[in-house]
Chains A and B, each alone.
Chain A
Amino acid sequence: MEKSPLKKIRSLLLRFSSGLDQRLGLILLCLAVMGFCTFLSASQGTPVSIEDELRNLALSFVVMWIVSRIPPKWLELAAVWIYGLGVALLVAVAAFGLIKKGARRWLNIGVVIQPSEIMKIAMPLMLAWYFQKREGIQKGWDYGIAGVILAIPVFLIARQPDLGTALLVFAAGMYVIILAGLPWKWILPFIGVGFFGIVLIVIFGNTICAPDITWPFVHDYQKHRICTLLDPSSDPLGKGFHTIQSMIAIGSGGLLGKGWFQGTQAHLEFIPEKHTDFVFAVFSEEFGLVGNLILLALFFALIKRGLAISAGAPNLFTRLLGASVTMIFFTYAFVNIGMVSGLLPVVGVPLPFISYGGTALVTLGFGAGILMSIHRHRRLVQS
């Protein structure tokens, strides 16, 4: 019996989507659509084209689809190699990387790549692999070894310097280590010290931000970022300008926003990086608090789904990997929105699926693909 073309397409779609997690897919599709709509408005006056964004989104979903077909076992086998390659590339960067804007982050291997990006996936892969290997025979020093695995690339990335990426890679690794069972009595003191440190910075902000005080282990511009966060008005035309202007954009959006394409802050060039890292300011201004809450709800649903997939994963490797990847999504979203709304220092972190940028979209597609793959192969592994 001859099938109608419509049915052909339907069966084709079904074949391609078979095994994909439909809920996760729907959330990602919603985010991508919202991202694309925001992009249309935010890219006005920028040199990037709609075709570029569509190509990036398509690439992201293709990567996701391909990765979702890869059995987790393969990833487990490749983990050490990917990690090793990443570290090797980082060493190569340190030795003869390209310097742009005072940072040595890039490597020219025919095309210019940024090896620290690889680490965002390679790190959880490697640590999940390690804890899978030690499953059931874990000792105290296993955490020490995990710490060393974590520290080497983080150190190399921080030296470039690229504190933002270093922190993200560090966070990705820490999620694995903590979820793998790092004892609370080891975790809590760090949380305590961190909390205490933040309180100190807020209280003594004026003193430690005095121009003649230099902070240990921190570049001057990094100190500057934290200090302008504490008081954006201290540098209203410099670093603080971005924060102040994006806060004005968000605040002036109000409950319902100024409407699609109607954001004055965005369209009159007050928002820096408006289609990339600061795209949330454009979104907020045009869609208001209601739009923001929908966006937050979508991210929350994405993370909930990712964690649920991880909780149902068949072995320690997939559980740790899935949960860590999910938490990277969370970190991206939280740090980006926190930074744009003036809660966190300005670090270059994109808003997942909303910000323009090929590399980030591919990395995120890869992560989503991993979650899909874990979901798809949950029974295969079990049996």
Chain B
Amino acid sequence: MVSFKKPNLDSFQKRIHIATLFVTVCFALLGVRLVWLQLIQHGRYSLLAENNRIALVPAPANRGLLIDRSGIVIGRNYSALTLEVNAEEVKGNIDDLINQLSEVIQISPRDRRNFKRSLEDSRNMGTFPLRSMLNETETARFMANRYRFPGVDIRARSFREYPYNELASHLIGYIGRVSQKDKERMQAEIGDAKADDPDALQTSFLPGIQYVGKIGLEQKYESVLRGVPGYDQVEITAGGRPVRTLSSSPSIPGKNIVLSVDIKLQYLVEQLYGNFRGAFVAIEPQTGDILAFVSKPNFNPNDFVEGIDAVTWKELNDSPSKPLYNRPLKGIYPPGSTYKPFMALAALENKKRTPSQTIFDPGYFDFGNHTFRDDKKGGHGTVDMQKSIVESCDTYYYMLARDMGVDMIAKFMKPFGFGQITGIDLEGEAKGVLPSTDWKKNTFKKPEQQKWYEGETISLGIGQGYNAFTILQLAHAMANMANNGVVMKPHLVKAIEDPFTRRRELTTPKESYRIDLNPENIAVIKNAMIEVNRSGTSAAAFQGADYVAGGKTGTAQVFSLNSKEYKHGATAEFLRDHALFIAFAPADKPTIVIAMVVENAGFGAQYAAPIARKALDYYIDGKWPKEIPEWKRAP
């Protein structure tokens, strides 16, 4: 049995002392804890509290304008009220939300498709436009119902707009929403830039970048056009509600780019092509300015800005005429007879022919046990160099090719840019093929294929065989000849303009290099080409022109432009020859050269040369063809 002390005052007071001690220890514990949190860990928690309360709200920068050489704006921005959804704040089903919203504001199936597509593309991060161009009634109706839709708001936003729709779409390209991939790439770029610029904090503000150029000049000049997004430092609550703006860093608008392209010429040529497919490049030879860069058919870049809808996308992709294909940049064609002036110049420079030296053309040329036929039955008879160009005599060039050999031809053609990257300011340029023994050795796998056969040289003379060039290369080569061997890099943009001061900074590349050519030899070729337009294959097209222009027609057998895919949807039409044409004018001091192809049109003289004539009439004389609607400046 345990015995207990009588609970007297002494015992009680002892326990009170112990209780006091206990309380003291506990309070000391709290004191230590508070000292730990408020003194030792103060820095860390201050930082956490700052991070808690401050959010950066992006202020996107205005994108630079696209301006043609005469000041016409072909890529611009407009501001519109937009219904925006913050994907992170939306709880529950997106479809339900849109259904509820569509009771208040009209939302088309297309809006819905675009919105869901951009959501998927960006993995539900950020704010996305659901409906743009809200009118006053719609805005008011939404504001009255706003409380029902957390995470949905109306904002004024800047949109990209291409006022002339399809016009020049392949050179402009388009912008689209930043994808996860774009973001990662930009992050890497910024990381590099930051390494040597400690003030680069602003450029790292990726959330402010919502759109990037996807193709065309929009892509190539992305860093110029984009500008630097700004941001507001906003104090927010735990729920993300903004309370006040602490500071803001204004955005810096992107710079405008001034194109070397004459948009009216571009428009005219696109109209002249009508329903024909093809490519057309016009260059100012002294500068390398590209004056027109046509790819037909084209597409409407406005469809892509807010994410193209699936139906339109499928249409564009499935169309056998390939409207998304940038023909002058990527399409490779045999140059056909347009190659002949270059071959003739090669012969003169390499002293394989003199201008007056003649050959006899019986209508064919035998090499080994193969007969190469001339277009003209019975042949052109006695042919000198000028006649060979004016009448486009094949036999003359079969012989010439044989006499020069593949490597001499390749060596001469290379500096002109055939089968070489021109370096134009667009991504994805095709290289084409300038055949040579080395090229064959490097291209094929089997030893018997790697060997160059003499017989393969013959058809190179008339621009067939392995020859495969882009229209851009052909125009570039024409420009180089017209410019007497001075090579200027072709480019679509000639200046960068400051949006405030309007000060322009030229970006035009200087002379790249000079091809050492005898001026007399060039004169011979140019005169022959002038004669082509006077009495040769394109004489009909150039009848009555009040300027002198040189030209050369060509007809190329179809084999090159994505031939595999073409076979798939092949119709008789797709097997017809391509009509080609090259030209320079005015002859004494060319200000424009042209290279063009009209796909599956047949003879160059009939389909290509008339288009070139009208383009030159407009560019040199300002004459507008009656059948083409007048150029109208966009509102």
Residues of chain B lying within 8 A (CB to CB) of residue A183? 2, 4
Does A178 count as interface, using CB distance less than 8 angstroms?
yes
Q: Contacts A268-B243, A270-B238, A303-B23; is A181 near B38 (CB within 8 Å)?
A: no
Which residues of A, 336-367, contact B by the 8 Å Cβ criterion?
Answer: 337-338, 341-343
- Among A136, A245, A247, A252: residue with most chain B CB under 10 A: A252
Residues of chain A lying within 8 A (CB to CB) of residue B33? 338, 341-343
Q: Contacts A140-B4, A284-B38; is A179 near B15 (CB within 8 Å)?
A: yes
Does B195 count as interface, using CB distance less than 8 angstroms?
no
Q: Which of B12, B34, B38, B52 is A264 in contact with, Cβ under 8 Å?
A: B52
* Nearest CB in chain A to that of B44: its residue: A251
Known A253-B38, A292-B38, A334-B30; further 17 A-B contacts with Cβ < 8 A: A138-B4, A138-B6, A178-B15, A179-B16, A179-B19, A181-B15, A254-B39, A254-B42, A255-B38, A265-B49, A268-B52, A268-B243, A269-B237, A269-B239, A307-B19, A341-B30, A341-B37
| Contact segment of A27-35, A159-167, A293-301 | A293-301
- As a 0/1 sequence over residues 252 to 278 of chain A, the CB contacts with chain B under 8 angstroms (1 = contact) are 111100000000110011100000000
Instruction: Decide: B45 and A250 in contact? CB cutoff 8 A.
Output: yes
Instruction: Decide: B30 and A337 in contact? CB cutoff 8 A.
Output: yes
- A-B pairs with lowest CB-CB distance, top 8: A251-B45, A252-B49, A289-B38, A269-B237, A251-B37, A181-B7, A252-B45, A270-B238
Q: How far is the CA of A269 from the CA of B236 in the complex (A)?
A: 9
Which residues of B, 10-24, contact A by the 8 Å Cβ criterion?
Answer: 11-13, 15-16, 19-20, 23-24
Does A68 count as interface, using CB distance less than 8 angstroms?
no
Residues of chain A lying within 8 A (CB to CB) of residue B48? 248, 251-252
Does B35 count as interface, using CB distance less than 8 angstroms?
yes
* Nearest CB in chain B to that of A272: its residue: B238
Q: Which of A131, A249, A264, A323 is B16 in contact with, Cβ under 8 Å?
A: A323
Interface range on chain B: under 10, 10 to 19, 20 to 34, or 35 or more? 35 or more
B12 smallest CB distance to A (angstroms): 6
Q: How far is the CA of A139 from the CA of B20 in the complex (A)?
A: 27
Does A321 count as interface, using CB distance less than 8 angstroms?
no
Residues of chain A lying within 8 A (CB to CB) of residue B2? 140, 183
Residues of chain A lying within 8 A (CB to CB) of residue B6? 136, 138
Does A328 count as interface, using CB distance less than 8 angstroms?
no
Instruction: Decide: B38 and A288 in contact? CB cutoff 8 A.
Output: yes
Q: How far is the CA of A128 from the CA of B38 in the complex (A)?
A: 41
Instruction: Decide: A268 and B15 in contact? CB cutoff 8 A.
Output: no
Does A94 count as interface, using CB distance less than 8 angstroms?
no
Does A150 count as interface, using CB distance less than 8 angstroms?
no
Q: How far is the CA of A273 from the CA of B30 in the complex (A)?
A: 21
Q: How far is the CA of A334 from the CA of B27 in the complex (A)?
A: 7
B59 smallest CB distance to A (angstroms): 22
Does A90 count as interface, using CB distance less than 8 angstroms?
no
Selected A-B contacts with CB under 8 Å, 9 pairs: A140-B2, A178-B15, A181-B11, A251-B37, A252-B49, A268-B52, A269-B238, A270-B237, A284-B38
- As a 0/1 sequence over residues 224 to 245 of chain B, the CB contacts with chain A under 8 angstroms (1 = contact) are 0000000000011111000100
Instruction: Decide: B5 and A181 in contact? CB cutoff 8 A.
Output: yes
Q: Contacts A181-B5, A296-B27; is A268 near B237 (CB within 8 Å)?
A: yes
Instruction: Decide: A250 and B34 in contact? CB cutoff 8 A.
Output: yes
Does B71 count as interface, using CB distance less than 8 angstroms?
no
Q: Is the interface of A mostly helix, strand, loop or mixed?
A: helix
* Nearest CB in chain A to that of B3: its residue: A140
Residues of chain A lying within 8 A (CB to CB) of residue B236? 268
Does A113 count as interface, using CB distance less than 8 angstroms?
no
Instruction: Decide: A131 and B34 in contact? CB cutoff 8 A.
Output: no
* Nearest CB in chain B to that of A307: its residue: B16
* Nearest CB in chain A to that of B5: its residue: A181
Q: Which of B13, B23, B34 is A292 in contact with, Cβ under 8 Å?
A: B34
Does B46 count as interface, using CB distance less than 8 angstroms?
yes
Residues of chain B lying within 8 A (CB to CB) of residue A316? 7, 12
Residues of chain A lying within 8 A (CB to CB) of residue B235? 264, 268
Which residues of A, 143-199, contact B by the 8 Å Cβ criterion?
Answer: 175, 178-181, 183
Q: Which of A248, A337, A338 is B45 in contact with, Cβ under 8 Å?
A: A248
Does A304 count as interface, using CB distance less than 8 angstroms?
yes
Residues of chain B lying within 8 A (CB to CB) of residue A251? 37-38, 41-42, 44-46, 48-49
Residues of chain B lying within 8 A (CB to CB) of residue A319? 12
Q: Which of B4, B19, B49, B237 is A181 in contact with, Cβ under 8 Å?
A: B4
Does A135 count as interface, using CB distance less than 8 angstroms?
yes
Instruction: Decide: B39 and A255 in contact? CB cutoff 8 A.
Output: yes
Does A130 count as interface, using CB distance less than 8 angstroms?
no
Residues of chain A lying within 8 A (CB to CB) of residue B12? 179, 181, 311, 316, 319
Q: How far is the CA of A337 from the CA of B37 in the complex (A)?
A: 13
Q: How far is the CA of A334 from the CA of B24 in the complex (A)?
A: 11
Residues of chain A lying within 8 A (CB to CB) of residue B15? 178-179, 181
